[in-house]
Structure 1
Amino acid sequence: MARPTITIADHAGACYGVQRALDLVEQVAADATGPVHTLGPLIHNPQVVAGLEAKGVTVVSEVPEPTEEGGVTLVLRTHGVVPQVERLAAQRGLAVVDATCPYVKRVHHAVERLQGQGYQILVVGESGHPEVEAILGHAPGAIAVADAAALDDVHVEPRVGVVVQTTQAKATLDAVVSSLTGVAREVCVVNTICAATSERQKAARELAARSDVMVVIGGRNSANTTRLATICSASCAATHHIETCDELDASWFEGAATIGVTAGASTPTAQIDELVEAIGRLV
């Protein structure tokens, strides 16, 4: 029997915002003379975060106090932070490196503008996710809705401004907007889904449809990676979401002629290459 083909999705792995953040932190770690912290995990990839910790970049859950030993550098994670955090870091005299994804920044500017124009703000996204929490912080009183069904619990005002978590699916945004139409007098939508997210979802969907087995690699705490796995599962029942190659099982590939591989936007290319090599050894 011929060995199966292994194909990587046309768009997979680390996006611009993630690579930019990694490059920033690598440079900071090399140059800093004092402690370097990231406020929360820099990205949702436990292996990358562990690698940064080995280089002296530690994760903190709140803005640290300055130390007497040397200047403290605080890196703001790719998902962004609420304005109060930035102000507190400045008040404490910390050196702040803003690794917020520029596309997430665009959402912050959008909600500030819409709220300034008098719209009720709805954020289509996962409540509690750090990106969504940061967006809400830039528009006090804004409401996060996970999907159209969540609108049942929302008092919808006559004028509504809608933005969306950058890693959400377009279908979810469309469903929310459709439900708002006819309820609100005016609905102003700013589609803030990142192009990289849409590209990865489309490529994953197409590859899954022609694969016997799909393997999705990336953090289980990564919203965009989890969504890729869900999308792939709809077209390929034999879809497996893993964080490391140690989780691979040779039985997954028995009888498979085509194996597809994709990765979340927080997954570096090196991890994808390692995965392909590991699958190759199993088949």
Structure 2
Amino acid sequence: MASSQVVRIRVAQHAGVCYGVERALKLTIDAASAARQPVCTLGPLIHNPRVVAELSAAGVGTAGSVDEAEAGTLVIRAHGVVPQAIESAKQHGLDVIDATCPYVKKVHHAAARLAADGYQVIVVGESGHPEVEGILGHAGDGAVVVSGIDDLNDIVLGKRVGVVVQTTQTDERLGQVVASLVARVGEVRVINTICKATHERQESAERLASSVDAMVVIGGKNSGNTRRLAQICAAQCPSTYHVEDADELDPIWFQDVRNIGLTAGASTPPAHIHQVIDRLVACNPDSSVEWNRD
């Protein structure tokens, strides 16, 4: 960015950390502050390497499994786990703090209800993702994961199918899968479990990306919801850049750019957003920063 150029930096209306992540962080930090025993999370608390590193510096460890957890307090990650993991932790004598996002809990209950009612459960989401694995643990025998309509070709479908969806998926992806199922099976029951916060972030990011010259998406590279934000933005603004922190910003990206849009994934704390804004402003002191509230 040239120093003489006035640059308008606009932040999406809905951006950054969501309620579920904020809650999980508070539960974990409070536990670490009060603990007289080791505290660790079962897997990364959230998909943000910077936050995980910050928690580690505060004394919170990460266990890959219940067996790896030291005696003390075990925090269940925001993405949730299979029910057997919590039971196993209790049997190991660990104090369990369940930081599963309440909206993810709703997916667990929805999947279990569909299975109890005799539906074959289909989870629309990323195979292998921790949230999806946790959902499958509540969805009964025969439950399967599909990331899109092509995956349905490899599945033997029952006559009655129930659908839930990973909280960070898009309405478009869910709609495509449901439309394909309706044409193939006798009965489809759909429980739309996409989180409102996810929908709001995707919608406001798409709207902003369509009106700027360059778009910056902040958040973990391992975060599914942040990657989807970047994909949505790139469809509207080819000059879209996904970064985890301000050090990744390259001034070359913003040469001759007058309008920069900025959004952040649901696992990105406010401090990380402000650091990126500060770096962009430092590159051009004449920049104006607008927080969209309409």
Whichever residue aligns with residue 139 of structure 1, its letter is A
Aligned to 1:220: 221
Report what 1:149 is aligned to: 150
Q: Map 1:41-52 to 2 at 5 A.
A: 41-52=44-55
1:123 Cα deviation (Å)? Answer: 0.1
Matching residue within 31, 35, 39 for 2:34: 31
Q: Does 1:186 align with 2:187?
A: yes
Q: Shift in Å at residue 49 of structure 1?
A: 0.3
Structure 2 vs 1, CA of residues 66 and 23 (structure 1 numbering), >3 Å: closer, same or farther?
A: closer
Q: Which runs of 4+ in 1 moved over 2 A?
A: 64-67
Q: CA deviation at 1:65?
A: 6.5
- In the aligned structure 2, how far is the partner of 1:194 from the partner of 1:66? 30
TM-superposition CA deviations, 1:254-279 (whole Å, max 9, x none)? 11110000000000011001111111
Sequence identity (%): 56
Aligned residue identity for 2:73: T
Preserved contact between residue 65 and residue 92 of structure 1 (Cα < 8 Å): no
Separation of aligned partners in 1, 2:244 and 2:225: 13
Q: Give the 3-state SS of the residue equivalent to 2:66 in structure 1.
A: coil
Contact 2:63 2:69 (8 Å CA) reproduced: no
- What pairs up with 1:130-279 in 2 under 5 angstroms? 130-140=130-140, 141-279=142-280
**Inter-partner Cα distance in structure 1 for 2:68 and 2:203:** 44
**1:119–1:217 Cα change, 3 Å:** same
Deviations 1:109-139 (A, max 9, x none): 0010000000000000000000000000112
Q: CA deviation at 1:64?
A: 3.6
5 Å-filtered alignment, 1:27-106, equals 27-64=30-67, 71-106=71-106
CA contact (8 A) 2:122 2:162 kept: yes
User: Equivalents in 2 of 1:137, 1:271: separation in Å?
Assistant: 33
What is the distance in 2 between the residues matched to 1:29 and 1:201?
33
Q: Aligned pair 1:10/2:28, yes or no?
A: no
Find the counterpart in structure 2 of residue 108 from structure 1: 108
Q: Give how far 1:207 is off.
A: 0.4
Contact 1:80 1:131 in 2 (8 A): yes
Q: CA deviation at 1:2?
A: 3.8
| 1:103–1:166 Cα contact (<8 Å) kept | yes
Aligned residue type for 1:184: V
Task: Give unpaired runs (5+ residues) of structure 2.
Answer: 285-294
Ranked by relative contact order (alpha carbons within 8 Å, sequence separation 6 or more), the top structure is 2
Q: How far apart, in 2, do the equivalents of 1:93 and 1:282 lie?
A: 53
Q: TM-score, normalised by structure 1?
A: 0.97
Provide the C-alpha distance between the structure 2 equivalents of 1:66 and 1:252, rounded to a whole number of angstroms: 44
Answer yes or no: is the 8 Å Cα contact 1:125–1:132 preserved in 2. yes
Deviation for aligned residue 1:182: 2.2
Measured after TM superposition, the shift of residue 26 of structure 1 is 0.8
Which moves more between the two structures, 159-168 or 249-258? 249-258
